[in-house]
Amino acid sequence: MRLAGPGATVILFGMVASVDGLPAYEGYIKELTIRCPRASRPRDFDAAIRLCAGRRLDVAPLVTGRFPLARVTEALAASEHPEHLKIVLNVAGQGA
Amino acid sequence: MLAAVIEGPGAVAVRETAPPQASGLALVRVAQAGLCGTDRKLAAGVFPVTAPRVLGHEMTGWVEVPGPGGAVPAGTPVVVNPAVFCGVCPQCRADLPNLCARGGLLGRDVDGCFAEFVAVPESLLHPLPASVTPDEGALLQVLSTCVHAQSEVPVSPDGSAAVLGLGVAGLLHVQLLRARGVRTIVGVTRAAWKRDLAAASGASVVVPPEEAAEVSTSRSSAPARPPRWPRPCGWPARGQR
C-alpha cells in the first residue's frame, strides 16, 4: 500500500491470514482499491488456456522439479526449498 | 489405484485405494499434478481436513469416462478446475462460482488428484488444445488464479505495477501484466537468482525489498500528488457569479 500510487489497486494474492500494521490511513488518502481474489472461475481457465496456446506467455521455465507420485512426501519436502518454483508429480509417467 | 492420502495431521501415505465412483461425475485419468503451498499446509495439518482424503488440486489428464452430459468425450486431454461449484446458488448465478456457498476444493473437501484417477463434475473439465505442452498444463491452474486476480483491474501501457514476491504466482503476474501491455513492471524479491527469470518474464527492473520504495516512486507514472480539487459541478465560471 505504501508503494501504490493514488487511485491504485492493491491485490492481496493467495491465502493471507492477516496483515499487521495495515496502513489504512494511507489507503484512505490514496483512495486505494484492495482486492482479495479467491481461486478462479471457469472463464479464467479458458483465458489461461488461450494465453498458453497462443504463446503469449512462457510459463514452462517455472517448472523446476518432477517426481513420481510414489515419492510425494519427498516432493512436498522439496517444494519448501526456495530454489524450487513449481514441482510436478508425474502420475501417468508423462515427461518423466 | 495408487493415491497419496492424508490420513491425519502430518501423515500422508502413498497406498492402494479403490478408484473413485464416476456415478454422476466424469472420471479423469491423471497425467500430472502440481504441488503448491496449500497441499503442504493440508498435509501438515495447518489447514483442517477430514481424513482420509486424497490430496491434490492442480492437474491435467484425459477423460476416462465422460460425465452424464457427455460434453467432453473420452480420451480428451483436459485441465480440471479444482473449485467445485453447485451452479444454482446466488453466487454461481452471478458468475461467481469461485464463491459458491456449497462449493469446495479438490484435495481438501473432496478427494483430489494425487491419484491415478479422480472423479469430478463435468463442469470442471476444460479441454486442452494440442499446442499446450505438459509443463504449460502444470501451470494452468495457478495461471487461472492470476488471471482472475487481475480480471477487474484496469491497466494501460502508461501505467505501472509492482509485484512483491517472485514465486510461481508472482512471476506469472509479471508475465500477465506484460502480456496486457504494461511497460513498467517492478519485481521485488530477496532472491538474487530470480532476477534473470523475472527480467525474462517481463519485469522492467527487479530489486530487493529495501529498494522497492525508491524504484517504484521513480518509475511510477502516477502523479506524485493527487490532482487539485476540480471545481464543483454547477459552480458558475468566473465572470458569471
Tens digit of pLDDT for each residue in B204-235? 999 999 998 888 666 654 443 433 443 434 44
> What's the pLDDT band for B202 if we cut at 50, 70, 90?
very high
The predicted structure's pLDDT at residue B219: 61
Say yes or no: B223 contacts chain A, CB-CB below 8 A: yes
> What's the pLDDT band for A93 if we cut at 50, 70, 90?
low
Please write the tens of the pLDDT for every residue from A2-42. 899 999 999 999 877 788 888 999 999 999 999 999 999 99
Domains of chain B, by residue range, sit at 2-128, 148-219
Average pLDDT over residues B124-145: 95
Could you give the percent of chain A with pLDDT greater than 90? 82
Q: Mean pLDDT of all residues in chain B?
A: 90
The predicted structure's pLDDT at residue A82: 87
Under 8 Å between Cβ of B4 and B12:
yes
Cα separation, B52 vs B68, in Å, equals: 27
Which of B139, B145, B213 faces A39 most closely, judged by CB atoms?
B145
The predicted structure's pLDDT at residue B229: 40
Please write the tens of the pLDDT for every residue from B12-21. 999 999 999 9
Which of B35, B98, B146 faces A41 most closely, judged by CB atoms?
B98
Class of domain B148-219: alpha beta
For residue A68, the Cα-to-chain-centroid distance in whole angstroms is: 23
Does residue B56 carry a pLDDT above 50?
Answer: yes
Distance from CA of B50 to the nearest CA of A (A): 19
> What's the pLDDT band for B168 if we cut at 50, 70, 90?
very high
Using DSSP, state whether B160 is helix, strand or coil.
Answer: strand
Interface test with A, best of B168, B188, B205 (most A CBs within 10 A): B168
Distance from CA of B37 to the nearest CA of A (A): 8
Could you give the percent of chain B with pLDDT greater than 90? 83
User: Per residue in A51-82, is it b (16+ CB within 10 Å) or e — as a string?
Assistant: bbeeeebebeebbebbbebebbeebbebbeee
Judge: domain B2-128, CATH 3.90.180.10: yes
> What's the pLDDT band for B240 if we cut at 50, 70, 90?
very low
Give the pTM: 0.89
**ipTM reported for the complex, 2 dp:** 0.93
Q: What is the dihedral sign for C-alpha B184, B190, B194, B196?
A: positive
